[in-house]
A and B are shown apart, each in its own frame.
Chain A
């Protein structure tokens, strides 16, 4: 832009003014009282659905550029957009892969583990979990040249600069978002001190083992990796045992984080619970903690399907009447009917499709990312909500 406001600037501003005036004074919809903050899921990540998109819930295609075996049961997929565009993400965010296995469409969240310097490629690292249909399939069958479909990126387990110290605590495949955060932090203009406490069963299970060692060597004094192994090789000079509260206490005593350090935690639920309890006892304020939790699909409670139900979806004063088929989610039905509903991960993990239930009841797949406060305020996640009877929801914006 030049140093003077151009005619076109003024025209854009006038249109914005007019729409603000109409919304506030004629439609009675005042602007939101809070500033939308940048740390939250990026607006870019939120796909605006609508009738113009044929099948928005199927995501967009990404090409598998390269497949790298990280451990016997974990594989990295380097993906790129067929049109060459950069897949933008905030370090720590995840993509939802939409994969068809045995004729059934399944959705799984995988964190981006690469750095922006790798653009236009992004890396997803997938560990085969016991009985996992998608993770098993990708570990066995993913090959360069194939196409996957993806949604997002989504999630607010992110690092957006700032802070002098980061403590990353990960278990198993929980390393993936932490890797992206570590890479971004260490390559930032004013890099913070970063410590990674990383728990695994054995040395062969350590994802990114060499890459982490290389990073630690390149950023000596600023980046430290502290491995904790349940079944370490002999000899082993790292810590031994599970990454539980006692172990964490030892580790944190050793690194002595400052009172300003930010904690990022991602791993299996027992580890997360132990970390949470220990950080509570240390008096680490909730504002200095970030947690990422991926539920295993097998653990998710799928509610029993009900028959077709009428639903009303209101957004911006416009109401769409929708019929939700048996087993269909509110989001899928709403988008099918052309309602403008925001969404991102489509699996209850990011909150982009959060809307207020003003009438009726729904069942939701659990666990999901809604906080107890949001539930108490009547919010539901359209992407995992299925109506039990006639319902009405209001979507913000």
Chain B
């Protein structure tokens, strides 16, 4: 109904109204005052002020505590094992097959297949794209996704360094240092791929900025940990997995293969560190706060990655924003993305103790309880993850 009224407005006004609406909807979603306090300022900086798109570097004031321990305890065998595996799993970004020429418009080797989106929906809206335009739009979408990976990895680089300082497990610090290197390598290879092979980088999506902002501004290490190691890494695994399954481009597949193996370790670490902390050290109230926070970030990730940056480039003034949302939401590729992401994320939340019976009702309401019984990160190696994806493809 609101959409229909909005359609009557001139396109520029329509767009402004729609953007405001999104902000208010988000504010309405964050019902509890605690969540509003924790995500509200980040939401304002990301969505209203678009700090990530101002064309200048962003400065965050970090407030975490660095934890030193002069007795060098070695009491976390699972983390020691991860550290060992991480050392053996290192790879050099320069060894990827960079000599492969990537022609994003080559129909023989598409970055994304046509089945990723539903072009018939655009046609119903009177937008008919020819074969070349379709390839260009798919190229834009693929490049948009990769750009968001790149920005997310930059967030992970900073967050993993902070978490390494803050974490109280000494074995976790050893492991954390390898993750910092992993994240730097991911930034390196995604940026090189975008810069050399795709010739463009999209700005950071406002919602991704909100999550990164919230993590950087929160002083509690376990919130950074939860946000980065479980939520953003889960999002990344969903997105990498989707692209890995769907792309035919050999260099990108090789790149993602390596990245996914690293990410599997990162999530594993997040789960073992938080399981210990959340189940043994936090009060019930503190646990509940984290549980609600994780649920809201899940919603943010489920509903709000709408590739508006691609919309701005292609359809601003041509197609109303709510119709673009419908186009993105019903894209088969996005459905796969949501499935891949939550089938990893939900079991991990269960494993770390953030899936009480009470919150399960909320997850059931948004249709995510179907993933509850899946395998969590500690039971799933990188190779198994890849085998799953290869099998699904």
A residues touching B (Cβ–Cβ < 8 Å)? 4-5, 9, 13, 16-17, 20-21, 24-26, 28, 30-37, 39, 258-260, 283, 285, 287-288
A288 to B61, CA, bound (A): 40
**When the two chains form their complex, are residues B56 and A31 in contact, meaning their CB atoms are under 8 A apart?**
no
**When the two chains form their complex, are residues A31 and B55 in contact, meaning their CB atoms are under 8 A apart?**
yes
**When the two chains form their complex, are residues A34 and B49 in contact, meaning their CB atoms are under 8 A apart?**
no
Partner of A5, one of B19, B54, B61: B61
Minimum Cβ distance to chain A for residue B41 (Å): 12
- Binary CB contact string for chain B from 15 to 49 against chain A (1 if under 8 A, 0 otherwise): 11001100000000000000000000000010011
Task: Note all chain B residues with C-beta closer than 8 A to A39.
Answer: 195
A283 to B106, CA, bound (A): 14
Task: Note all chain B residues with C-beta closer than 8 A to A25.
Answer: 16, 19-20, 48
**When the two chains form their complex, are residues B203 and A9 in contact, meaning their CB atoms are under 8 A apart?**
no
Known A-B contacts A31-B53, A34-B200, A37-B201; the reply to A4 vs B99 at CB < 8 A is: no
Task: Note all chain B residues with C-beta closer than 8 A to A24.
Answer: 16, 19, 50
**When the two chains form their complex, are residues B98 and A287 in contact, meaning their CB atoms are under 8 A apart?**
no
A259 to B100, CA, bound (A): 8
Task: Note all chain A residues with C-beta closer than 8 A to B45.
Answer: 17
Minimum Cβ distance to chain B for residue A28 (Å): 4
If A16-B54, A31-B53, A288-B101 are given as contacts, then 13 extra A-B residue pairs at C-beta distance below 8 Å, sorted by A number, are A13-B59, A24-B19, A25-B19, A26-B16, A28-B15, A28-B16, A33-B309, A34-B201, A34-B203, A35-B147, A37-B195, A37-B200, A285-B102
Task: Note all chain A residues with C-beta closer than 8 A to B364.
Answer: none
**When the two chains form their complex, are residues A20 and B49 in contact, meaning their CB atoms are under 8 A apart?**
yes
Minimum Cβ distance to chain A for residue B46 (Å): 11
B residues touching A (Cβ–Cβ < 8 Å)? 12-13, 15-16, 19-20, 45, 48-51, 53-56, 59, 61, 98-99, 101-103, 147, 195-197, 199-203, 309-310, 312-313, 316
A258 to B97, CA, bound (A): 12
Task: Note all chain B residues with C-beta closer than 8 A to A4.
Answer: 61
**When the two chains form their complex, are residues B59 and A32 in contact, meaning their CB atoms are under 8 A apart?**
no
Minimum Cβ distance to chain B for residue A193 (Å): 15
**When the two chains form their complex, are residues B59 and A21 in contact, meaning their CB atoms are under 8 A apart?**
no
CB-based nearest A residue for B23: A25
CB-based nearest B residue for A14: B49
Task: Note all chain A residues with C-beta closer than 8 A to B196.
Answer: 287
The 28 sampled A-B contact pairs (Cβ below 8 Å) are: A5-B59, A16-B56, A17-B51, A17-B54, A20-B49, A24-B16, A24-B19, A24-B50, A25-B16, A25-B20, A28-B15, A28-B16, A30-B19, A30-B312, A31-B53, A32-B203, A33-B202, A34-B200, A34-B201, A34-B202, A34-B203, A36-B55, A37-B200, A258-B99, A285-B102, A285-B103, A287-B102, A287-B199
**When the two chains form their complex, are residues A20 and B50 in contact, meaning their CB atoms are under 8 A apart?**
yes
A259 to B102, CA, bound (A): 12
Known A-B contacts A17-B49, A28-B16; the reply to A260 vs B98 at CB < 8 A is: yes
A24 to B15, CA, bound (A): 10
Interface centre among A17, A21, A30, A36 (most CB of B within 10 A): A30
Known A-B contacts A16-B56, A26-B16, A260-B98; the reply to A31 vs B310 at CB < 8 A is: no
Minimum Cβ distance to chain A for residue B205 (Å): 10
CB-based nearest A residue for B50: A20
Minimum Cβ distance to chain B for residue A6 (Å): 10
Q: Taking chain A's interface residues, is the majority helix, strand, or loop, or is none over half, making it mixed?
A: loop
Minimum Cβ distance to chain B for residue A339 (Å): 22
**When the two chains form their complex, are residues B99 and A260 in contact, meaning their CB atoms are under 8 A apart?**
yes
3 closest A-B pairs by CB = A259-B99, A285-B101, A33-B309
A36 to B53, CA, bound (A): 10
Minimum Cβ distance to chain A for residue B305 (Å): 15
CB-based nearest B residue for A1: B59
A64 to B20, CA, bound (A): 57
CB-based nearest B residue for A37: B201
A36 to B309, CA, bound (A): 14
Minimum Cβ distance to chain A for residue B216 (Å): 12
Task: Note all chain A residues with C-beta closer than 8 A to B202.
Answer: 33-35
A125 to B101, CA, bound (A): 36
Task: Note all chain B residues with C-beta closer than 8 A to A283.
Answer: 101
CB-based nearest A residue for B55: A36
**When the two chains form their complex, are residues B12 and A28 in contact, meaning their CB atoms are under 8 A apart?**
yes
Minimum Cβ distance to chain A for residue B189 (Å): 14
Task: Note all chain A residues with C-beta closer than 8 A to B312.
Answer: 30, 32-33
Task: Note all chain A residues with C-beta closer than 8 A to B316.
Answer: 30
Partner of B50, one of A5, A31, A288: A31
A4 to B63, CA, bound (A): 10
**When the two chains form their complex, are residues A33 and B310 in contact, meaning their CB atoms are under 8 A apart?**
yes
**When the two chains form their complex, are residues A9 and B59 in contact, meaning their CB atoms are under 8 A apart?**
yes
Task: Note all chain A residues with C-beta closer than 8 A to B20.
Answer: 25
Task: Note all chain B residues with C-beta closer than 8 A to A21.
Answer: 48-49
Partner of B313, one of A28, A33, A288: A33
Interface centre among A31, A32, A35, A287 (most CB of B within 10 A): A35
Task: Note all chain A residues with C-beta closer than 8 A to B49.
Answer: 17, 20-21
Minimum Cβ distance to chain B for residue A175 (Å): 26
CB-based nearest A residue for B51: A17
A39 to B194, CA, bound (A): 13
CB-based nearest A residue for B309: A33
A381 to B99, CA, bound (A): 35
A5 to B59, CA, bound (A): 8
A20 to B52, CA, bound (A): 11
Minimum Cβ distance to chain B for residue A312 (Å): 18
A17 to B59, CA, bound (A): 13
CB-based nearest A residue for B48: A21
Task: Note all chain B residues with C-beta closer than 8 A to A33.
Answer: 202-203, 309-310, 312-313
Task: Note all chain A residues with C-beta closer than 8 A to B19.
Answer: 24-25, 30
CB-based nearest A residue for B60: A5
Known A-B contacts A17-B49, A20-B54, A30-B312; the reply to A35 vs B203 at CB < 8 A is: yes
Task: Note all chain A residues with C-beta closer than 8 A to B147.
Answer: 35
